[in-house]
Amino acid sequence: MSPSMDTAQGVYKRAGSIVTGIMGMGRVYLGASSVLVISVFALIISQFIFFTVSIDGTPTMLVENRGTAKKAIVLLLEKEEKRRGYPVYWQQVIEINPVWGNDGRRCYKSVENVAGVLRRKLQFVTDGVAVMVNKEEKLYMRNIEVARQSLGLIKDKFRPRGALKVSFEEDVQIVNKTVSVEQLVDRDNAIGILMTGVQKIENYEVEKGDTLWGIARREGQDIKELMDINKGVKPHLLQIGQKIMLNKQQPLLNVISSYETVELKDVPYTIVEAGRDPSLNYGEVKVIQQGVPGRMEITYRVVERNGQRIKKYPVHKTIKSDPRPQVIVTGSEMLMASRSGRTIYRPVVGTVSSNYGVRGGGMHSGIDFAADYGNPVVALAAGTVKFAGYRGGYGLAVDIDHGQGMITRYAHLSKAVVSTGQKVKGGQLIGRVGATGNTTGPHLHLEVRINGETRDPASLL
């Protein structure tokens, strides 16, 4: 390094040390006797010597003397660090070289003015950090603490109560980086940038049936904003195929969080049929034991993306109480006999009051069952209703054809609930006990006919 040239090259971490380096240079030791002569000579010479301050090899200005430039550098650094509140430096190389004559160029004399020029020409940097999202530098911050704080606050915004995990969907890294002070963003701005992302304009081709409002709603756009970025588009005159712009703003970071929630659910009880109660009407059900639903505790895992639920699934189930079954008995289906593979139902609940056969000098063509008015009457077996209506002394009667020439007749009914042509099952309700026709009181008269001839129903029952 020549003594005639001061250089700040290679020193850029702390500009203060640059200056110290400069100060120490160009020192020349001279004999005491020659000091006066040399001094006078130097004074004369100095009128014609100027110094060029170059930044990265480009002459930037002319200064009167080396000291002015050095002081300006110190002053500038002090001011900048004080103003910003953190250490700054520059990576450009400043050189101060003597030149002969000023060629009419302006020569800076004041330290303040030199500092002012340097301030405009130098790019201040600092040891900061870059916030990387998916391996891309998205923004620059002062230090790792403030970057972490910003990221933490974003997570906090979407942190559910009792959060199990809160993380970013994206790969996020904070890396040390020498960053331009102009690019630094503070905590709140960083949060804003990371959460709202960057504006991304996309083209959209208008389709049949589209309205600007419809597009806005579907694409999650603000209608006012949509109209702002599509100046000249007349909302009422959209044409199919017309191109409009959509602002597809997407956050740079998405927060994925999960938590667990416990819900109590009923466990339905089962219905157990304990048996049949002949005192009940056909189809009637009597509850012997009221069923009680059980209780189950279900733990769900809920996953949210930016506070919006995206998943919910059960992770654990605990039975808190078992359900108590409902125990019932049912009436009807007065199954009496099963003969030759054929199931025969008792037609009514009641005792036989009059048998088939000769009775008081006459012929009783069926069996009478003493039964209360309104009691259910069911079909003995499956068949087709052949007749349902009034039939002389039988009163209101139902005839059921069981095939193979067999017909059963149910007489003196108060009500018939089937009609001609209807198919019935064995045990199915067909009517109600009554006292219609030739009778002195409510009872059921049951007749069995095979090929038109009456038979003793007792042979079937």
- Contact set with Zn ion (CB under 5 A): 368, 445
Q: In degrees rounded to 5, what are phi and psi of residue 221?
A: -105, 150
Min separation Cβ 366 and Zn ion, Å = 5
Min separation Cβ 389 and Zn ion, Å = 18
454 strand-pairing partners:
449
Min separation Cβ 437 and Zn ion, Å = 10
Min separation Cβ 393 and Zn ion, Å = 9
Q: Which residue has the CB atom at the shortest distance from Zn ion?
A: 445
**Closer CB to Zn ion, residue 70 or residue 412?**
412
| Three-state DSSP class for residue 39 | helix
Min separation Cβ 439 and Zn ion, Å = 8
Residue type, 56: D
Dihedral sign for Cα atoms in the order 362, 364, 370, 374 = negative
Min separation Cβ 353 and Zn ion, Å = 9
Q: Provide the CB-side half-sphere exposure for 323 (13 A, CA).
A: 15
Min separation Cβ 333 and Zn ion, Å = 24
**Closer CB to Zn ion, residue 409 or residue 445?**
445
**Closer CB to Zn ion, residue 80 or residue 368?**
368
CA atoms of 461 and 459, how far apart (whole Å): 6
Q: Is 48 left (phi over 0), alpha (psi -120 to 50) or beta?
A: alpha
CA distances from 339 to 352, 378, 459, 461 (A): 20, 18, 10, 9
**Closer CB to Zn ion, residue 19 or residue 396?**
396
**Closer CB to Zn ion, residue 123 or residue 353?**
353
**Closer CB to Zn ion, residue 95 or residue 368?**
368
DSSP calls for 190-231: HHHHHHH-B--EEEEE--TT--HHHHHHHTT--HHHHHHHTT
Angle between helices 66-84 and 15-23 (to 10 degrees): 160
**Closer CB to Zn ion, residue 66 or residue 445?**
445
